[in-house]
Amino acid sequence: MCRHCSLRRDAESTGLRYDDPLGFFVFIGALFGALAGASAYVISLNEYRQRMLRLDQNPRRMALGTAAVTFAFFFVGSIVLYLLLTRGQ
């Protein structure tokens, strides 16, 4: 028996399916969401520091909020893309 066949049999015994790529879309959404969130944090922190902000505004907190929204956008977007691509199946 080849190695690929034994891996497929092990995956089938655990209930994992090869034809349902939800895990892949979640992984891609988390990966690119983290990259985009980190980039958004660095860019927005630099922009917020250059602006004349009020004393009660914290540039790091504002940049962290921007990064969180960016991560959520990419993560939810990957789930929506999965749902759109698998809707007809």
Tell me, yes or no, whether 65 lies in a domain.
yes
pLDDT at res. 53: 80
Rounded to two decimals, what is the model's pTM?
0.74
Tell me, yes or no, whether 14 lies in a domain.
no
Tell me, yes or no, whether 24 lies in a domain.
yes
Q: Cβ distance 60 to 15 under 8 Å?
A: no
**Cα–Cα distance measured from residue 41 to residue 56, given in angstroms and rounded to the nearest whole number:** 19
- Domain extent, residue 29, equals 20-85
pLDDT in tens, 43-77: 999 999 998 788 888 999 999 999 999 999 999 99
Tell me, yes or no, whether 59 lies in a domain.
yes
Q: How many domains does the chain have?
A: 1
For 86, list phi and psi in degrees, rounded to 5. -105, 10
